Chain A
């Protein structure tokens, strides 16, 4: 090109910098999205359980509830599980004779619909309205964006070639 070498290099390093930042931003956007989902799901869970308790007039029996955080491992009822436990219960070893799945509590909350369908970008107007009340004002635009699909371009104003 007609540029002096160092300027061409300058352009190239800017291009590299731009790519690097775009990738980091993408990653941070999904991190933020996940945090928003967790916040909404947790608040809705607390609200739901609180009103259930008020309706029933008593707290649910302790052995029917689980406190967060936890992990779920599920498998078919036919799967044989061989389990060894150390005496102090600090170490466990499970052997399954078939496939199993591991889910974290956030995943479970999502399955329960606690995140208003935001995680799949499929959210009714009422759900969206409720979800927006559960986050600080600064995050509302993100929630609105998530209601129609994963966040992609929010706040990257002026960068029209975000996907390029």
Chain B
């Protein structure tokens, strides 16, 4: 990638230009490498989570989400469900809208007194 830089130019500018060119080409390579790794990672993760063997081993929340003074609500919703949270100044509101199936909401089973 050769560029004509003119006749009366000082060496500093030329080397600045060349440095930039080199840097941009290094960055291009770095970005391509990242793109490739991200694609691979996404695929890997999808294969992992879609594996029925793995689906057999879900999360045991009771042991893992310890919450003595907290109420913990679990929401399981189909893909593409929309969740909207209001601005705090307008009150504390959450709305859920699904198009593909019902949404399940339940309390973390450490406390059996239901709210919903």
Kindly supply a per-residue 1/0 record for chain B positions 4-41, scoring 1 wherever the CB is within 8 Å of any chain A CB and 0 otherwise: 11101110010011001111101110110111011011
Closest to A88 in B: B102
Q: Please give the number of chain A residues whose Cβ is less than 8 angstroms from any Cβ of chain B in the complex.
A: 81
Quick one: CB contact mask for A38-69 with B, threshold 8 Å, 1 for yes?
11001101100110110000011001111111
Q: How far is the CA of A108 from the CA of B60 in the complex (A)?
A: 11
Contacts of A17 in B (CB 8 A): 24
Interface string of A120-164 (1 = CB under 8 A from B): 000000000000000010110010000000000001111101000
> Is A36 an interface residue when CB atoms closer than 8 A count as contact?
yes
Using an 8 Å CB-CB cutoff, how does the interface string of B50-68 with A read, 1 for contact, 0 for none?
Answer: 0000111111111011010
On chain A, the residues within 8 Å of B27 by CB distance are 18, 21-22, 25, 156, 159
B97/A32 in contact, CB under 8 A = no
Select one of B34, B58, B111 contacting A28, CB under 8 A.
B34
Q: Bound complex: CA of A88 vs CA of B44, how far in Å?
A: 35
Tell me if B's interface is mostly helix, strand, loop or mixed: mixed
User: What total count of A-B pairs have CB within 8 Å?
Assistant: 224
Q: Which A60-116 residues have C-beta < 8 A from chain B?
A: 60, 63-77, 79, 81, 83, 85, 88-100, 102, 105, 108-109, 111-112
In the complex, what residue of chain A is closest to B96 when comparing beta carbons?
A: A92
Chain B, residue nearest A109 (CB): B59
Q: Are B59 and A108 in contact (CB under 8 A)?
A: yes
- Taking the nearest CB of chain B, how far is it from the CB of A23, in angstroms? 10
Shortest Cβ distance from residue A92 to the other chain B in the assembled complex, whole angstroms: 4
Known A18-B20, A21-B24, A35-B42; contact A45-B59, beta-carbon cutoff 8 A? yes
| Structural contact, B9 and A3, CB atoms closer than 8 A | yes
Q: Which residues of B contact A73 (CB under 8 A)?
A: 72-73, 75, 94
Give the docked Cα–Cα distance between A97 and B98 (Å).
Answer: 24
Cβ contacts under 8 Å, A28 to chain B: 31, 34-35, 38
B5: chain A residues at CB < 8 Å are: 3-4, 7
A7 and B41 form a contact (CB under 8 A): no
Q: Can you list 7 A-B contacts with CB-CB less than 8 angstroms, sorted by A residue number?
A: A2-B8, A67-B58, A83-B105, A91-B97, A95-B93, A111-B65, A138-B40
Give 3 nearest A-B pairs by CB, closest first.
A89-B102, A49-B57, A96-B92
